[in-house]
Structure 1
């Protein structure tokens, strides 16, 4: 075994240094060689679920180009292991690495439904859509164990409060009963992330996610039940999935999606090192080309933080991608749109008391 051996079933292939922690852990070549000779496992590669108890669960989103006012995340870290995930950097705030730790140390917020209900009952709270998975996927594998997302949906339904969902996991169909009830009152919309129609590409980029076929089925099933679905082609990575924009748009449109949005990959913080290491191990022949094209979209850098520009990029390659998306939306989504969710019902459901006026 050596430093270029791939860790199966994971996106990141290393733990990068946490910028907030003074000490770091290094996997030395001589140790790897010893384990190889002795037939010992270097790493058990197991997922750990760790209970945490935050004081609040709903976060106000201040970024002007994100498209949501509030978000909540029942889990911190994500076992899906998407190599490009912007949420990786947030794991550093909890004392972990943005690399393998992000995928293997999953923080579980079992009190999330109670914390959510406490907020929705406040007299001062004014209903505005809360998006589940603003950071990490609320239907990642941990949800099949803990069912925190399902319990939160029950709270949203009880208080007639609008909610959005972002996911790439077919587990969402388990909660079709609750989602359908919310949809009948125009209280929910769902965002399904689809980044490739190729299973080979999907497995490389997102090793523990639902297959593309299953995600397309999710779009179809939700749409058949009159649940508004928006598909997120996010991120588009030059020379990896940038050629799939039109085919994806056609497929999701035929499945019933009402809209499609996109972002161009940006590798901020620790993600640049994680992605670079991954692509040199996973796609060594095209690694330099892809990295150079990503840099071309961001003024010569892998990262970009400027609001309004960071999601769309600049330069010829970025323009070509953005123009293709515009063409796809005009061709396959003309006359369709995601309805605005109903935020007028909640006020009368904060308490069990009826108002006289």
Structure 2
């Protein structure tokens, strides 16, 4: 699988008019996709650029999704990040067909020699051995259970989960081991697994975080073209909550001057449907994501781009992105503090819990472990 095109600019162009030279793909070819371009990843030694030499028209077929299996050696990924509430996670898929232009996981596709642009949402990888690997890792001598976060990079309930059912197979293993899990998704497909999640919730073994970026269908279609309609996400919150499953709503990402005016409305709608916790994340633009989002703004909101990136820099210490622990999620400065304060006030007014639900790691039991006593 090779990349289509691409070279990034050096990052000095004004964001109001910046485009990814030679890498932007015609709208007809990428209909239903989030990214506007397919630049090479940052590790590629060679780059290519498309141009019209006048000899013959360049016609591109419509981009289609390609899925390949990935043979992983392990499935639990560990981290020591001090600003997130988990130290291990599972991502059943690499790449995500939801196509969210703002997804901070896009740059990870460069490690596979692919573009963080359109490749990220059209060149997907599954981990078909995930359940088997998980069972092996949970059964290892000395394994100490702590909450596993499911879907921290790419959505575990993206469209291909309907056919591959890898996320469900992972949940089945976690349920058998009575292992706590936190799920992050923006898909209503999660309600398919209420039979498993409801039983786990009875023992405080699961919590689901549903991401709601906007309630505006037109904006959602541009930003996250293959993610479920915002109404479907609210319905998922309602169904999960009705089944006794703790639900957090995540207003993420908050994009200055684009969806930040919706914070209170999103929180109110989610609370009315049973969400008990709420959180937010300010737009993050690591590595190639800066240029990809700039290109997207140049096409969809060219008149707002300069103002949006000005506010982003205000919240990122004068830079487009600040990766420092404690600041990367929420930013700093006046704008970031205003967003945090609005979240705090709305949560208190709407009756959201101020403390997070703590999951139960004491119930963990490897199937057949009792036999070791005899």
Fold in common (TM above 0.5) = yes
Query: Which of 267, 272, 283 does residue 265 from structure 1 map onto?
Result: 283
CA deviation map 1:291-347 (0-9, x unaligned): 22212211222111111112121222222111111111111134565421111111x
Instruction: Return the alpha-carbon distance in structure 2 between the equivalents of residues 351 and 280 of structure 1.
Output: 58
| 1:73-152 superposed matches below 5 A | 73-152=91-170
Partner of residue 46, structure 2: 23
Partner of residue 309, structure 1: 327
Conserved 8 A contact 2:138-2:366: no
CA deviation map 1:16-46 (0-9, x unaligned): 22111212232224489812xxxx3x14300
Instruction: Return the alpha-carbon distance in structure 2 between the equivalents of residues 108 and 175 of structure 1.
Output: 19
Instruction: Return the alpha-carbon distance in structure 2 between the equivalents of residues 294 and 228 of structure 1.
Output: 32
Instruction: Return the alpha-carbon distance in structure 1 between the equivalents of residues 53 and 355 of structure 2.
Output: 57
CA deviation map 1:60-98 (0-9, x unaligned): 122111222110011000011111111011111111111
Partner of residue 219, structure 1: 237
SS in 1 for 2:249: strand
Measured at CA, do residues 343 and 33 of structure 1 come closer, stay the same or move farther in structure 2, by a change above 3 Å? farther
In terms of fraction of residues, the more helix-rich structure is 1
Instruction: Return the alpha-carbon distance in structure 1 between the equivalents of residues 178 and 170 of structure 2.
Output: 12
| 1:1-357 superposed matches below 5 A | 3=24, 5-6=26-27, 7-30=30-53, 34-35=57-58, 40=59, 42-335=60-353, 337-346=355-364, 348-354=365-371
SS in 2 for 1:50: strand
Measured at CA, do residues 31 and 256 of structure 1 come closer, stay the same or move farther in structure 2, by a change above 3 Å? farther
Conserved 8 A contact 1:90-1:98: yes
| Structure 1 unmatched runs, 5+ | none
| Structure 2 unmatched runs, 5+ | 1-22
- Please give the root-mean-square deviation of Cα atoms over the aligned residues, in Å: 1.9
More displaced, 170-179 or 295-304?
295-304
Instruction: Return the alpha-carbon distance in structure 2 between the equivalents of residues 244 and 196 of structure 1.
Output: 7
TM-score (normalizing by structure 1): 0.93
Instruction: Return the alpha-carbon distance in structure 2 between the equivalents of residues 112 and 59 of structure 1.
Output: 12
Conserved 8 A contact 2:94-2:154: yes
Conserved 8 A contact 1:297-1:315: yes
Conserved 8 A contact 1:4-1:281: no
Please state how far the C-alpha of 1:118 moved relative to its aligned partner: 0.5
TM-score (normalizing by structure 2): 0.89
Conserved 8 A contact 2:43-2:111: yes
SS in 2 for 1:196: coil
Alignment coverage as a number of residue pairs: 350
Conserved 8 A contact 2:182-2:207: yes
Conserved 8 A contact 1:121-1:351: no
